Each structure stands twice: as C-alpha cells, then as structure tokens.
Amino acid sequence: MINIDNKLPQHIDPLAESSLIYSTSLQEVKQQTFLSKVLLLLVCFGYPIQAFIIIISGSNSNNLNIGFRIIYVLISVFIIFSSFKRGIKISKPVLAFLCFWIIYTARLFYDLSIREIRFLDKPPFYVYSFALGNCLLPALAIYLSKAAWNTKNLSIGLYYILLLSNICIIINYLFLTPASLTDLLVTRVGWGEEQIINPITISLSGALLSIAAFSLIYYTGLKLKLWFRVLVISSIFIGFLNLVLGASRGPLIAFIFICLIVILFYWKSRKLVGKTFIFLLFLSSFIWVSGIALNRHNTGDIYLIERLKTQKDKTEKEDREYEWASAWEQFSKSPFLGDSFVNDYDKSYAHNLILDSLRATGVIGTFFLLYLIFLTIKKVFHILSNLSEYKDSAAICLIFLCTFIVDMVSGGIFVAIYFWSLSAFICTIPIYKEIKSSPSLF
C-alpha cells in the first residue's frame, strides 16, 4: 500500500514545474494521488500480469485487453475531470504534451478515418484505443493530478508490481511452457502463437525489476528486515534471468547504460566505494561466470549472447533498419507536417520514437516532443544529482532512462506507454528550493 502523508511537501516552488494550484481539499488530494499512482503502476508495469491472466484463463486476448483499457480510461477521465473542477495551471511540460498530442491525434484521424491507412491490418479502434487509452489519457491524468507531490513509498510500489509481473513470467516458464531452463536459454521466449507478450517486454520487465530492487536497497534509505532484504536481492537475479530469457538487445543495452549512470553519479559525489561498487562488481562477475558455465555445459550459446555476437557479422539488414529508412524518406517528402502514422515499408511504427514523430508530425510536432524530452531528462538528472532530497524518486528516474533507450530502438508514438506516463510523473515532481544542486549534466 502506498501511504499518503497528511501534508504537502514543504520548501517547494508551487509554480515551477507543477500543473497544479492549491485549491483542493486534503481528502481530494489524497484520493487523486492514490488513483494516479495506481494508474501509473498498472498502465506502465502491469501488462505481464494482464497477459498471465489471459494465458491461464484461456480468454480472448483482445476482449480482455479492451476491458483493462476501459478501466484505465475511466480512472483517467475521473482524475482529469476532478482536476479541472478544482482548477489547474498549465505548465511548460503539460503545454508541450498537449500541443504534440493535438497534432498527432489529428494525424491519426486523418490517416485512419479519411485516408483509411491501417496499422498492420488492424482496425482503427485498435490504434485509437492504444493511443488514447494507454498513452494520452493516463499521462494527462498524471500531469493534472497531485501524484508526484508525494513520492513516499513509490519505490516500494514499483518494486512490488514489477516483482509480481516477473513472477508471472517465471510461472509461465516453469508450469505452462514444456521446456527446461537450459532449453529456454538457447532460444528466444515469447507467450503464445500470437505473441500475447513479446520478448522485448519480457526482457524489459526483467531489467526494470533489477533496477527497482537495486534502488530500493541503495537509494531509499529504508531499514529493511533481513528476510525482505534477501527477497529484494534475489529479485535482482530474477529480473536478470528474464532479461536474458527475452534475448532482446535493447533492454540489455539500456540496463548496462543504467549501471554506468549509477557509477557516474556515485563517482561525481565521491561515493563510489563500499557496497555499491562491490554489488556492481559482483553482478557483472555473476553474469560473466554464469555465461561461461552454461556454454561449457554443452548447452550451446545463450541466445541473447549469440544475437550480440552475430550482430557485428550480419550481412542483411533487419526490418527495423528498413523501417528507419522508410520513416526518414517519408519525413523528407513532407518535412513540416509529416506523411503518415505508419511506415510505407511494412505499415508499422518506426521502432524509434523520434523518427516515428518526424514521419507522423514533421518538424512542427517533433519540436514539442523534443522539448518535452529535454524537460524530462533535465529533471531526471537534477533528481539524480540531489538524491539526498529525492531518495524515493531515484527508481522511477532510472526506469525512465531505461525505457527511453528501449523506445529509441523499439518504440513508436502510440505504443510508448512508458515514456508518456513516466515523463508526466517526473515532470510534476516538485523542485525543492532549498537544495544547493550538485553539478549536473544540464
């Protein structure tokens, strides 16, 4: 359970980064804060649980996914209307967000309803529901709520839902998939013939669990009981197991980048000593030794390692490289307003957030997206430079960076669920005015 303090944070600038004004009763603030945090956790990190329910129940995946999406929309609409009822102030991140989505929604309507362009032969409702129900409305609700004004126990909430998601993935391996761990390691796993949950999501869920567990131990300053500390440390390796089993290069590269970010900020604060350095050394050693042991046990190459080794020797382009080329070519034809929300190559998204935006909205829409990215990353590095004041926000910042890297090699505008909701939350974390900021990258 995420606890809500009875007081709003002190020593903050209420107009600097917030979209809120103080015209709300404490009870309404607590209610909207709780709902917004639940919405954030479920929309961003709850899909493996949702997919597990589909698998074990044998339900139609489309119907169940639509059902969950309707729930997210209802919660979002309730929060949004409640926010307008009490009064709001539009901040720079909210303005950039709204400007971009006005342009992108117009693009979707024009392409889907007038030009009758389709995404992978899916009906228009599929795209509209994903874009509006999973991206636009939840993010707007998070912007307009007071969720980020109290991040107490946020790390606990992130850890619990990511642990449950990864447990659902592990249960599927052990009980629902007729394969041994060795067999799974030398292939690329996914759920169901229709890929109810894809390998990228599996790998990313594992990476995010490892990050959340690490942050819970080393950043929050919480005094954990021995059994819970053992569970959290074990979760790091559960997460890494799923990262390897999904065999996706993007999440692995993003995870390595996060490790480097951790080292960078500890080095800057002259704290690269003791348990953090030992932990990172131990984790890298564990990965290396495990890989060697498995390969020498005549199991064949671990599929993720094999994909990395063959990457440099490949002679044929991957689909995403053709998608990038197609997106750039389409943008070049119509640089101001964009050309289409899908690629000409395969009628899919560009597998790169910025290229997807350039192709769909041109330089006009992409300007607002880049500005929002700048504001979010600036806030992330401010928080990471002042962890003594933002202990419970470290996890969500590291998770944002990890998912953003993945979106740059695998994402698209209307499927970038992590980016929209996490950036909304981070941009509304209040600035503590009494902080003497450490040197930052911005």
Determine the Cα–Cα distance for residues 14 and 350; give it in Å rounded to an integer. 38
287 occurs within a structural domain: yes
Query: Which tokens in the block code for residue 396?
Result: 């969500």
17 occurs within a structural domain: no
Beta strands in 231-386 (DSSP E): none
Of 287, 308, 290, 307, give the one whose Cα is nearest residue 299: 290
What percent of the chain lies above the pLDDT cut of 70? 72
Query: What mean pLDDT comes out for the span 5-11?
Result: 40
Pick the range with the lowest mean pLDDT from 14-28, 151-165, 207-221, 379-393: 14-28
Secondary structure of residue 337 in the 3-state scheme = coil
CA of 16: how far to CAs of 32, 248, 296, 428, in Å?
21, 39, 57, 9
64 occurs within a structural domain: no
Q: How many CB atoms lie within 10 A of CB 99?
A: 17
The more confidently predicted of residues 121 and 31 is 121
pLDDT for residue 269: 57
Query: Which tokens in the block code for residue 110?
Result: 């024009």
What type of residue sits at position 38? V
301 occurs within a structural domain: yes
Of 410, 46, 412, 40, give the one whose Cα is nearest residue 254: 410
pLDDT for residue 423: 95
205 occurs within a structural domain: yes
Residue bearing tokens 């094999």 = 306
For 197, phi then psi, to 5°, come to -130, 125
Say yes or no to pLDDT of 292 above 50.
Answer: no
283 occurs within a structural domain: yes
Q: What angle do CA 311, 250, 155 make, to 5 degrees?
A: 155
231 Cβ contact list (under 8 Å, min separation 6): none
Run of H or E including 441: none
Is residue 82 within 8 A of residue 147, CB to CB? The reply is: no
Query: Which tokens in the block code for residue 322?
Result: 């053709």
281 occurs within a structural domain: yes
Give the number of domains in the chain: 1
375 occurs within a structural domain: no
Which residue range is the domain that position 272 belongs to?
A: 154-311
